[in-house]
Amino acid sequence: MPTLRIPTPLRTYSAGQSEIMLQGQNVSEVLDNLVVQHPDLQPHLFNDQGALRPYVNLFLDEENIDELQGLETPLQDTDRLLLIPSIAGG
């Protein structure tokens, strides 16, 4: 099963887990399974229309999924996804 790494600020919503193994053939399915297991993550990742929020970045190994096939990027069982929310400030 692919593994999704959860950043520290969002671990409160994932029962403190830093990595979660999730079923899914592509990124979209993995995220769907994530919010089924941890529904409190949904508003932090998705907008009201169900689209991924623009400040949420997902990387497959070292490549941003936006540069691959987006949410339809296929995954292997050994793949590792990294969730990185953009941080703003000044």
Sheet holding 19-21, edge to edge: 19-21, 3-5, 80-85, 56-60, 63-64
- Look at residue 86 in the predicted model and tell me its pLDDT: 74
15-70 per-position pLDDT tens digit:
999 999 999 999 999 999 999 999 999 999 999 998 988 889 999 988 999 999 99
Structural domain range at position 68:
3-85
Domain membership flag for residue 13: yes
What pLDDT score was predicted for residue 61?
87
Please, is 20 exposed, middle or buried when counting C-beta atoms within 10 Å of its C-beta (0-12, 13-18, 19+)? buried
Q: Is this structure's pTM higher than 0.85? A: yes
User: Which one-letter amino acid corresponds to residue 82?
Assistant: L
pLDDT mean over 67-74: 95
- SS3 (DSSP) at 24: coil
Looking at residue 57, what is its pLDDT? 93
User: Token pair of 3, please?
Assistant: 């593994």
Number of compact structural domains in the chain = 1
> Is 90 inside any structural domain?
no
What is the domain-level CATH number for residue 26? 3.10.20.30
CA distances from 13 to 10, 44, 48, 62 (A): 6, 9, 18, 25
- pLDDT, residue 85, reads 77
